[in-house]
Every structure is written in structure tokens, then in C-alpha cells.
Amino acid sequence: MRDSPTSSPAVSGVEMPPAEKQKTTVRLVFFGAAGVGKTALIQRFLQDRFEHRYKRTVEELHSVEYESHDTHMRMEIMDTSGSYSFPAMRKLCIRHSDAFALVYSVCDPESFEEVRRLREEILEVKEDKLTPITVVGNKVDLEKERQVRTEDSVSTVELDWNSSLVETSAKSGLNVTGLFEELLQRVHKVQLPSGLSVVLQHRRDTIPKDCTALQRKPLVKKTNSCTVS
């Protein structure tokens, strides 16, 4: 009996088709009280810019694709409103996301308490104490106004919650890339590719249908005209 084409051995001198690229999709969600810098952190990472004027975010979805000769990674980022007007949609988003950045301002102790509440909600919805959560203390450039000490947040986040803590400054860019690397590391040990071409898509929805809606839109190349509120 003749071998089927799929089981035939390679023939010397004949170039075989290249292997399919490894595809990875990761969904990240940024939660936190209003004004703590969620949008600013995402802006700094995607566009390397900082907007000094505060503008309230409704809901923002972003998709970034990294390409190399053997890797195709899609990273979806949801920037959420601090008002949480639609709890049912928030729970849906939690269910369908892989990792969470819970952002607070080191100048605002109440925003850290909001992180505590958000963490409890995520664990309740996911029903998994090992859900990848990274707590983010933003605005460390305002050190003179700090009210949440690093030692206290480390004790709570790393020792009590068994999560990771990253202190950042969206304004200066301090640890912003490290934050996204930490988030990806906590999802199946995925690493942020270096030196790869990037394709960026941005979409704004007042009430997003769900966290996967972005996949139905064609990707466009990143341009300086892409704005994030």
C-alpha cells in the first residue's frame, strides 16, 4: 500500500514547507479607581507618550500583534472605567480574561482599598485563587506626596495575597515595560518578544459587547494619529 502524502518522508534536495508559526493570544485587563493612571500606563506602553491632562475613560480595547519568523503573539488590553457602571459586563470581562493589573495611586490610600475589593471580586468570579494578578502602585514620580508605603503594600500584596507588586510611573515610563512583562510571565510563562514588528489596533466602545469583540475587526498599522482617551 502506498504511503499517503502526509506520511511520506522528506526527499533530499526538496524544500519542505515552513512550520506554522506558534500562535499565542493573551488578554489583559486594567482595573482600578478613577484617576490612578490606568490609561496613562497603557498609553506609555503602546505609544510611549504621556498625556498630562486627565480625561475620563469609558472603555478602551487595544490589540497588539507581535510577529517574528516563528512567533505570532496577540496581546489584547482592556482599559476600564473607574466608575464600574456596568457590573454584569465587568464580570463577563473577568471571566474571559487571562491576567489582571490592579492599579492604585501611591498618593491615595483609598485607591489601594479599591484594589483590595477588586481582587476579591476577581477571585470570586474566576473561582481560582491562582488567577494571575499584578498589583500596580502608580505615580511614584510624586514621591513627596506618597501615602502608601512600599513596605506596607509589599507585605499585603506579596505575603498575604501571594501576588506580584510593581511600582510604576506612567509619567516618566519607570517600570512600565516591566509591568507588561510581569503580566505576561504570569500567564503560561509567556514572554514579551523583543525586536519584533508590531501591529496595533485601537477601538473604543461605550458598552463593549464582550472582551472578544476586537477579534472581528481588521488590524491596521500603528500610526501617530491613534489616540487613547
Beta strand residue intervals within the chain, DSSP E: 22-32, 59-67, 71-80, 99-105, 133-138, 164-167, 197-204
Mean pLDDT of 117-121: 96
Say which CATH number the domain at 43 has: 3.40.50.300
Report if residue 78 sits inside a domain. yes
Higher pLDDT, 49 or 14: 49
Q: Does 25 fall in a domain? A: yes
Question: What does the alpha-carbon distance between residue 133 and residue 103 come to, in Å, rounded to a whole number?
Answer: 11
As a whole number, mean pLDDT of residues 16-44 equals 83
Question: Can you tell me which residue has the cell 518522508?
Answer: 9
Q: Is residue 223 part of a domain?
A: no
In this prediction, residue 13 carries a pLDDT of 54
CA distance 120 to 155: 17
Asked if 92 and 15 touch (Cβ cutoff 8 Å), the reply is: no
Cβ neighbours of residue 83 closer than 8 Å, sequence gap 6 or more: 34
pTM of the model: 0.76
What was the pLDDT predicted at 19?
53
pLDDT single digits (tens) 68-83: 666 688 899 999 987 6
Q: Does 1 reside within a domain? A: no
- Is residue 13 included in any domain, yes or no? no
Q: Considering its fold, how many domains does the chain have in total?
A: 1
Answer whether residue 14 is part of any domain.
no
- 53 — pLDDT class (breaks 50, 70, 90): confident
**Residue 116 or 226, more confident:** 116
Question: Higher pLDDT residue, 109 or 212?
Answer: 109
Domain of residue 113: give its range: 21-213
pLDDT at 208 over 50: no
If you average pLDDT over every residue of the chain, what do you get?
A: 79
Tell whether 227 is covered by a domain.
Answer: no
Residue 55 lies in a domain: yes
Per-residue confidence (pLDDT) for residue 59, from 0 to 100: 80
**Residue 199 · residue 64 · CB < 8 Å:** yes
